[in-house]
Structure 1
Amino acid sequence: MSVKTGNNLDELDYHTSNADIEEEDSGSSIDLVTLWHVVRRSIPWVILLVLLGLTGSYLFLRYTKKVYESSSVIKLEEQTEAKVLELPGAGMESDLGKLQGEVDLIKSDLVYDRLKKSMPLQVSYHVEARILEVELYKDSPFKVAFDSSRFDLYDQKIYVTFDSRTRYTVQIGEDGKKSDVHTVGSPISLSGNNINVLTNPSFSANHIGESFYFIVHSSGALKRYLNDNLSVAVLNPEAKTISISFKEFNREKARDVVNKIDTVYLQQKLARSNQASQQTIDFLSNQLQETQDNLQKAEIDMEYFVKQNKSYDVKAGLEGAMTQIQELEKEKYDLRFRNSLLSDIQQRIRKGDDLSLVISSLQLQEQQDPQLAQLLTELNDLQAQRRKVLTTTRGNTLSVELLDQQIKFAQDKVSSLLKEGRGYIQDQISSIDRNQSLLTGQIMQMPSKETERARLIRILGIYEKFYLLLMEKRVEFGISMAGTIPDFQILSPASLPSESSPIYPNRMIIYAIGIAGGLFFGIALIGARYLMHNTVTSVRELERNTSAPVLGVIPSYSKEKMPVSKLVVNQNPKSALSESIRSIRTNLDFLSSAKKKRLISVTSTISGEGKTFVATNLGGIIAMSGQRVILLDLDMRKPKVHIALDGENIKGMSTILIEKHSIAESTQRTSIENLDFISAGPTPPNPSELIMGQKFDEILQELHQEYDVILIDSPPVGLVTDGILIMRKADIPLFIVRANYSKKAFLKGVDRVMKTNHLTNMATILNDAPSTNMYGYSYGYGYGYGYGYGYYEEEEKPTLSSRVKSMFK
């Protein structure tokens, strides 16, 4: 194991880059084993993120006001839709257009105005809770009366706090100044507005000290409130059904609004259905009152005549003349009535008024001109069509000009016909007057009293008949209005929404979003960790990414912190680390027998992977087995062996190679009996040339005569070429890979070195491996022997906190 210092991994030079060029980059494909390792290590994080997502969903549901929706379904009757819309030619429109007209009527100001008058929507009462504000619909402990004609605090929060059952304070807005204490039931002036706060029977001691507020909504705010929350849509055009729904935070209020809209819509439909009949009744009532006044006057005159003359007999000789005069007088009255009606029609045409009332009056005439009624109906339809077009267009359009021409033409025809009719009536009246004059002359020859009696009886009879006729017509239209029924029925009235089933927020969707969000971030975390997982973490990764055999695994050394590499196997001979190096010593025999002299080189890709630590402690283990071992430090640029073995670096391999010192002069002893070492010596300017020289081979031959094993701490092969030169001379080249430090890309350099230099005996060692990545290592390399059977000192057992921390690494 090497010291975990802050070595700069950017020291890797072009040697590693060359490996990327020579060999295909295996990182472009997904490493399923590494991915599974990352997934397994990230499961606690994913679970935590999902729990955080669920927690966020719970908090969102907890602190979000629930929105409820109540709806009803109504069905329209086909036979009255055209009448309801009051559009000429409406029977030719499509069913969808008729239904859309009803949708517009429900959402019109007519229905809104009726709704605002029939429901307590203008003033809303609320209570401030710790989490959410709640509207006290029909449950407010107080109410407010105000003078709407002089009120200007619309759409503002006015806070009310009760100090007792009879005392309270008010303030306008959250930042407003609190008023003096007022008495319940006494009118007060608030910023020039007169209000009176009254308590309801539901007021209790629990309401004292709570913060209430009320809002007086303006007409515009109420209209926006209704427009935003009311939904009216055609549900099924074929079945002629319409859905009416309303969204509100208060579910009871939502239900009441929908039911009230149904009621108001019913009233509006009935009012529009009775409008034509009501106009006719108004006309009949006016005529009836006038006729009744004339009848009463005639009765009074007849009563006065009888009292004056004390007689009621009529001469039989006068009956014929009197009958004729009565008939002529009745005919003349009818003619005058018709003439008055024609004059009224003429005035309405000139003014452009609605002719519906006139047409209804013509229908009451027993003798009516069908041509005139047809022309008036056509003119009225044209005027109604023009008004409809003007509501959808601006200015004079071609369609409006065409309608004006048609209306002008119809008006001329009607005026001409009216002129002819009035002339004809005037001629008839003149003829009747002449006949009456003749009859009157005959009667005047009789006593004046009898003549006066006959006249009074005639007038009384005429008025009486006409009065009874008008009464009969008014009764008929009254019965028609009383029998008017709405042209729709409520198929499904609004019901109270379930408290556990708001339309927003949807509990299942919010929790699903929370889980999906946690999984999304968990997968993103796995992807990020996988992309960042570019170091060798386990022996399996080492075996999978290189063809060189794995000689063994050296665990992390945690007994003490070492600023530099040290010889520790002699201090802790029974530790897991010592046992792992003994296993490596045993596995070396499979590569080269211990009975012969061996040259072992130890190198790595870059500095910091632990080659000096491994070389030093491997030499100690081999020496402790009875073999004589000498350790040579040939990493002349960054020598560390003398530090690990507490020696000096005044003279060493560099001075021996230049023949300044001898081997005997440079050899240093260690605390282990059979282990010696030669330090690197002063750093030379040409380490590679020195190693390539003949002197280096002579040194090795001389050392082989005295020592069984020569261990060489070689320079990193990824930085300089010295290490490769030494590996070619070694019997067993060892390549050190440090767990969680060495890049996976370095392993491609191992295979390149093996193939290029034909190093068939080269093996790798995984250094500084965590315990979780050691167990289960194959016995094929001899590693793992003795674990768990007391052959080495027990390492300090990890605590619960350290295990939890390791789960999130």
Structure 2
Amino acid sequence: MLDIKDFSIFDNQPSFDFKGLLLKILGYWKWFVICIALGLIIAYQINIRKEKIYAMQTMISIKEESNPFFTSNTSLVFNWGGTSDQVSSTSTILQSRSHNELVVDKLQFYIDYLSQGKYKMVDAYGSVPFSISIDKIKGQLVNQVIGIKFINASEYEIRIPFEANSVSLVNYTDNSYSNTAVAVGDFVKRYKVGDRVSLPFLDWKLQINDKPGFYTGNEYYVRLNDFDGTVSRYRNINVNVDAKAGSILTLSLQGTNKARMVEYLNATVKMLIKNQLDSKNQFATNTISFIDSTLVAMEKQLKTTGNELKTFRKDKNIFDIEEGGAKFSDKMLDFDVERDQITRKVAYYNSLKSYLKNSVDYSKLPAPSVAGIEDPNIAANVSKLIALSTQRSEMAYAVKSDKIFKDFDNQMAAVKNVLLENINSAKSSLQYDLALINGKIGQAESTIKRLPDEQQELLKIKRKYDLSDNIYNTFLQKRSEADIVKAANLSDIHFIDPAKDIGGGLIGPKTSVNYVLAIFLGILIPLLFVFIIFFINNSIQNTEDINKLTQIPLIGVIGLNEEKTTLAVFEKPKSAMSESFRAIRSSLQFLYKKKQLDGAKTLMITSSVSGEGKTFCSINIATVFALSEKKTVILGLDLRKPRLAEEFGIENKDGIVNYLIKQKSLQEITNKTVIPHLDVILSGPVPPNPSELIISEGMNELMEELKKKYDYIILDTPPVGLVSDSLELVQFADTTIYVVRQNYTKKDMIMLLNTRIRRGELENVSILLNGFENKAKYGSAYGSAYGYGYGTYGYSYNDNQEVKSTIADRLKKIFKK
């Protein structure tokens, strides 16, 4: 029946050992050095292979420019709603797809010019001695590197490596794709500079630039890219508004080629200026178009009435006829002109009203002044409506937010409603004016009817001619005004600092960041490794571990044996290890004295499992007793796996087993050693029943004989954690040393030792810490250093198996001093 004291759950549980962790980290300093060195080497290789990154920028200002020829009579210009609105619109346009498509197409930036760098191909735009002009309506080989090698100043060679029997082609007029068949392998062909290259997959002309420098024999590369993909890259242009001056914008690009970025930044601003000026001139352009169509009609009408007047005057005394109606001619002209003006205004209002109700694009509206309308409300609202409509159409390519479009639609709807109200009010007033002038014309015509028929006919023809001539001259004047206004318009966007390569501009790569990251990872990776080892390693690390786990006293600490011999004390008696064993001898003598033992003293040395060094400790403890001129004997009581014979170089022929079965006497099994006063009794042949032999009466007889002959009897026993033989030998031992080994003995074995002591299976026990290293590394080569290993105990005590080193053991051998 088990006693409650048998349960190890009542032992003190170990707490976190920060000191042990720190010592373990310091013990792996070589790992940290190697990982940091490797990280720095990798970071260096990455840094030298990275292309340098530059930043180029240009600065523009947005200032609302008024036309110096603008008057209330022309009214052919409009603004965009103020500077703040223009800044927002400009930022959006610069990043819009439609705007960047125009710039990329103009610069043909979908063509890459490359050269072979030290590690890879680099962008050589601006430094190659040639340029390519492609035929956009023909399919061009896309995303394929094309080699160009100059044979001489006027001849070059094209080399294209085809890896498949089909290649993709792009047509840059509509960005459509197609495929064409090719022969697998290198396509090589020579051409003259300036000659057209006409192939099923390529159509271009190569021209040498001005001042190309020396280029004969050099090799360059060209790559035609996807148009939409190229545009997408340039839409990432960075637009920043100056915090102190809200009308100033800074445009910047980052890349590997400064010449390409400088040209693109300047080109995108120039394109913006052109488009903005075209939009600003839209009102004047619409007006000029309307006037031109009106002038054509008036010119035709004027020609018809002129011919009619010429025919009437033929064969007549025109002076007599004109004299009679001259006083009515000027008066009727004034009335007709006034009525035409009113009629044109009404017609404009009717047309504008119909346009507002039936159309959604208001960018084509002509200026109200073309019909003689000077109402500032009408002119301002028409101008605003055109501006809103123009902005909305431009933003359709850059903005995907329905809310923004709804805001524009709401604003235009509000302006339309105001305009419709203005139109209704203005038309009412014009209808009244038209009625008045029609009345005056009616009175004048009644008077004219009293004149002779010929005079009436002449006045009728002349009225039509004079009216057409007056309208024609009026529209000619308005067209001239519109041309002046259009020519005098200025863009609201101005360069402050055009982009320019003045040296510098380097912003990357951040080599220091890579080095810092390399050092960080060089520390982190081995640190994680040490953490994993520390937390999964359940073995004894130091004396603090022993003190936390048990109340059993610690009799001594033995360092790691760096030599290949087991006779450490005998061969190096002045070493630190020898002094450690002498200290243990002193402690044992104190224990024997405390127990008031007389005569021979016995010492049993055991451990939890094999490989912890109990045989090594047995030999050297026996040696220090023998060197003090005490007759000492070591008994090899590990009958299952004897090791003493190997350590002393003696054949394990006769031993304890022979004595216990009455084959040999004590004198016959006792062996002298090279160490004075030290004898050794081997275990002898491996018996089939080791436990039964140990508990036999022969064992008692053996111990009695030994006590008569020796001062100290050292019992080298099997591991107590694996077999029960050692427990049977406790009765013969005055004191027991329990050997634990750093980085080898599991902490659970100490718990088992506590349980055995509670149950009285072991008595007078002291612990010896063996194989101790201050750096507390994981694992050791202890077994191989001592020339033996008990690793097989943990698997099968009765089977002879070759000891296999663990991965940790192998790693330690690599980094061991």
Shorter-chain-normalised TM-score: which range?
0.7 to 0.9
Counterpart residue number, 1:133: 121
Q: Distance in 1 between matches of 2:277 and 2:684?
A: 114
Q: How many residues align?
A: 733
The answer for unaligned runs of 5 or more in structure 1 is 1-13, 81-85, 445-450, 561-565, 775-801
Q: What 5-or-longer segments of structure 2 have no aligned partner?
A: 67-75, 164-184, 397-401, 778-809
Q: Is 1:152 the counterpart of 2:164 in the alignment?
A: no
The yes-or-no answer on 1:255 pairing with 2:262 is yes
Q: By how many angstroms is 1:78 displaced? A: 7.7
In 2, Cα distance between equivalents of 1:544 and 1:500? 63
Query: 2:519 is matched with which residue?
Result: 515
Letter in structure 2 aligned against 1:529: I
Tell me the SS of whatever aligns to 1:253. helix
Higher deviation after alignment, 165-174 or 454-463: 454-463
Q: Which region of structure 1 is more displaced relative to structure 2, 164-173 or 744-753? A: 744-753
Q: 2: distance between equivalents of 1:619 and 1:669?
A: 13
Note closer, same or farther for the CA distance 1:438–1:378 as it changes in structure 2 (3 Å cut). Answer: farther
After superposing the two structures, state which structure 1 stretch, 55-64 or 341-350, moved more.
341-350
The equivalent of 2:187 in structure 1 is 178
> What is the match of residue 56 of structure 2?
70
TM-score of the pair, normalised by structure 2: 0.71
- Residue 61 (1) aligns with residue 73 (2): no
Tell me the SS of whatever aligns to 1:163: strand
CA distance, structure 1, for counterparts of residue 301 and residue 557 of structure 2: 132
Write out aligned runs for 1:408-423 (5 A): none
Q: Distance in 2 between matches of 1:481 and 1:88?
A: 12
> C-alpha separation between the residues in 1 aligned to 2:58 and 2:390?
34
Residue 220 (structure 1) aligns with: 228
Q: Retained in 2: the 8 A contact 1:376–1:414?
A: no
2:450 counterpart of 1:434: no
Measure the CA separation in 2 of the matches of 1:89 and 1:681. Answer: 114
Q: Which residue of 1 aligns with 2:327?
A: 323
SS of residue in 1 equivalent to 2:556: strand
Q: 5 Å matches for 1:703-718? A: 703-718=706-721
Q: Which amino acid aligns with 2:26?
A: R
Q: Encode CA deviations 1:399-421: one digit per residue, 9 max, x unaligned.
A: 99x99x98999899799979998
Q: What is the CA-CA distance between 1:268 and the residue it aligns to? A: 1.7
CA distance in 2, matches of 1:103, 1:568: 84
Q: Deviations over 1:315-372 (max 9, x none)?
A: 9x9879523322113322443565466557657766757683273323358xxxx7xx
- 1:33 alignment partner, SS class: helix
Amino acid at match of 2:287: T
Contact 2:592 2:601 (C-alpha < 8 Å) held by counterparts: yes
* Residue 736 (structure 2) aligns with: 733
Number of the residue aligned with 2:206: 197
Shift of 1:523: 1.9
Corresponding residue SS for 1:602? strand
Amino acid of the residue matched to residue 268 of structure 1? N
Say which SS state the counterpart of residue 260 (structure 1) adopts. Answer: helix
CA distance change for structure 1 residues 537 and 207 in 2, over 3 Å: closer, same or farther?
A: farther
CA drift at 1:271: 1.7
On the 8 A contact 2:671/2:679 being kept in 1, the answer is yes
Corresponding position of 1:10? none
Alpha-carbon distance between aligned partners in 2 of 1:478 and 1:382, rounded to the nearest angstrom: 22
| Aligned equivalents of 1:385, 1:144: Cα separation in 2 | 41
Q: Matched residues in 2 for 1:90 and 1:506: separation?
A: 43
Partner of 1:4: none
State the secondary structure of the residue aligned to 2:188: coil
Spell out, residue by residue over 1:66-95, the C-alpha distance to the aligned partner (whole angstroms, 9 max, x if none): 444434555555899xxxxx999996x9x9
| Residue 32 in structure 1 maps to residue 18 in structure 2 | yes
Other-structure match for 2:790: none
Pair 535,207 (structure 1): closer, same or farther in 2 beyond 3 Å: farther
Instruction: Name the aligned partner's letter for residue 636 of structure 1.
Output: L
**Cα 1:481–1:232, aligned 2, differ >3 Å: closer, same or farther?**
same
Task: Measure the CA separation in 1 of the matches of 2:201 and 2:660.
Answer: 108
3-state SS, counterpart of residue 181 of structure 1 = strand
State the distance in 2 between where 1:117 and 1:389 align: 23
Q: Percent identity?
A: 22
Measure the CA separation in 1 of the matches of 2:140 and 2:215. 32
What residue number does 1:8 align with?
Answer: none
Aligned equivalent of 1:674, options 658, 670, 677: 677
Partners in 1 of 2:250 and 2:468 — Cα distance? 55
Counterpart of 2:103, as a letter, is: L
Report deviation, 1:108: 4.2
1:495-506 alignment, distance < 5 Å: 496=501, 499=504, 501-502=506-507, 505-506=509-510
* Larger mean Cα displacement after TM superposition, 104-113 or 325-334: 104-113
1:280-679 maps to which residues of 2 (within 5 A)?
280-284=287-291, 322-336=326-340, 338-339=342-343, 342=346, 352=358, 356-357=365-366, 359-363=368-372, 431-439=443-451, 469-470=474-475, 473-474=478-479, 476-488=481-493, 494=499, 496=501, 499=504, 501-502=506-507, 505-531=509-535, 533-536=537-540, 547-553=552-558, 555-556=560-561, 558-559=563-564, 581=581, 584-586=584-586, 588-592=588-592, 596-645=599-648, 652-654=655-657, 656=659, 662-664=665-667, 666-672=669-675, 674-679=677-682
SS at match of 1:438: coil
